[in-house]
Structure 1
């Protein structure tokens, strides 16, 4: 594998998710010790989670471990964005960023952090890896929202510990996974041993490559340096991202009917801030797969609608027209 020389900007990021005991730690160790001169920064919630080979350890700062092979390991302070900036600003050479999520977490907020205006020009979300413990995973797990989302959002599913189970059990698990995520990309592993080129710098997380249109419409003017040449990568996979903004409110019933509408079925993920004529509150909207939820809070500034939708082969004009039909007209 050629050595990857990457500037800190456009730093590729891999998010590793999976239930407790699925083998995330073992995989992290595998990445730390097998990184053909790749300088990796790993962000974890607790150092205790990773049993780093003591021979590798050089020094420990408050929340940073430095390893003899040039890798570093950071604990995430309260703020993920903050921790990422610490790594980006450190004087260490970093080629690659890996973020481990807690086993019970829904990975979406972490994914969205890397797609946020603060980070999306500095890093490139490369992929989300979901580890599954083949021995202990049963279809009941899918009754848990977190497990479901870990699979839905996983660009690659690593079916780990396959040495401990029968062929039949593997086939059954795969069937369950395909039920939830058609065409899932599943790799079988033992002890998290997987050739790194199969999981790192594979550029499968297309939603990050915002089409230039949504970029020019966005109101964060302090980000002038979008490189538009990324947007065409999007087409290859049929993945695209559409943003919609408007300074008048939605009718809540029309909007909810639109979500159920078949055109919205092609949207995998959506997030946004919604303003409904019927409410004085700001609505935080998240959609993933067939599920969506809406939380409310007070508006701190003028109400408006801002929505980003990510999906395959979306008909942008049709979707925007449908959204406009849900708005309450000025009259």
Structure 2
């Protein structure tokens, strides 16, 4: 009998949007599921991808980590992967099509966490300067793309968008955030509101999308430029 594929949820968003808080809440309220994520596993098992150019390094980092998880005697019911606040989700999702992984794991969904207060104030991240400084520090990251493009790439990859920190803005501000986010992607993933990263596990887990099979429809700006023959 074939083993059922383990679902994996990818959590993405800029530094400070509330990804880690959302994951911590999720793991504390997992409803009996064995979830492997940054707060539930030993340090060796943490999957936090700090390199924005995952497509170049994923074979070195991602595949062995996933293999280790899959070799456990007690296989997890669900895997939660947090990208760094600088990394794009597209290359990571594409990596789930690697032969060693595709037969055992599927991307249940990509969840993009948005800092609503920052967007309402006309920013994409709470601390633009810090995000930019971290990009410069990491030689592997794409330093050229403006944050605006990276924000749009995160939204384009999403199956679910969490508008976090909605308690920090009023109703008019929230509507402006919804309009702004919707205008940034031609795809129209579901949007939900949250404060303090509090989203029910039943909402985050069980999207059942199989995102790796749809990644061709979620191209980043970088990928589009390559296809059009533009130098980056």
Q: Tell me which residue corresponds to 1:220.
A: none
CA contact (8 A) 2:110 2:159 kept: yes
1:13 to 8, 32, 36: 8
Q: Tell me which residue corresponds to 2:87.
A: 105
Q: Which structure shows the higher helix fraction?
A: 2
CA contact (8 A) 1:18 1:132 kept: yes
Q: 1:205 deviation in Å?
A: 3.9
Q: Tell me which residue corresponds to 1:127.
A: 109
Distance in structure 1 (CA, Å) of the matches to 2:198 and 2:98 = 32
Q: What 5-or-longer segments of structure 2 have no aligned partner?
A: 50-57, 125-145, 228-232
CA contact (8 A) 2:96 2:212 kept: no
1:173 and 2:154 matched: no
Q: Tell me which residue corresponds to 2:137.
A: none
RMSD: 2.8
Q: Tell me which residue corresponds to 2:191.
A: 186
TM-score by length of 2: 0.73
CA contact (8 A) 2:47 2:82 kept: no
Q: 1:32 deviation in Å?
A: 1.0
Going from structure 1 to structure 2, the CA distance change for 1:197 and 1:9 (only over 3 Å counts) comes to same
Going from structure 1 to structure 2, the CA distance change for 1:143 and 1:75 (only over 3 Å counts) comes to closer
Structure 1 runs (4+) greater than 4 angstroms displaced? 73-78
Q: 1:146 deviation in Å?
A: 2.0
Distance in structure 2 (CA, Å) of the matches to 1:291 and 1:124 = 22
1:294 to 205, 226, 232: 226
TM-score by length of 1: 0.53
Distance in structure 1 (CA, Å) of the matches to 2:61 and 2:167 = 38
Q: What 5-or-longer segments of structure 1 have no aligned partner?
A: 1-6, 45-51, 65-72, 209-239, 242-266, 270-286, 296-331
Question: Deviation string for 1:89-109 (max 9, x for gaps)?
Answer: 012231000100001111111
Q: 1:75 deviation in Å?
A: 5.9
Q: Which structure shows the higher strand fraction?
A: 1
CA contact (8 A) 1:268 1:288 kept: no
**3-state SS of the aligned residue for 1:293?**
helix
Q: Tell me which residue corresponds to 2:205.
A: 200
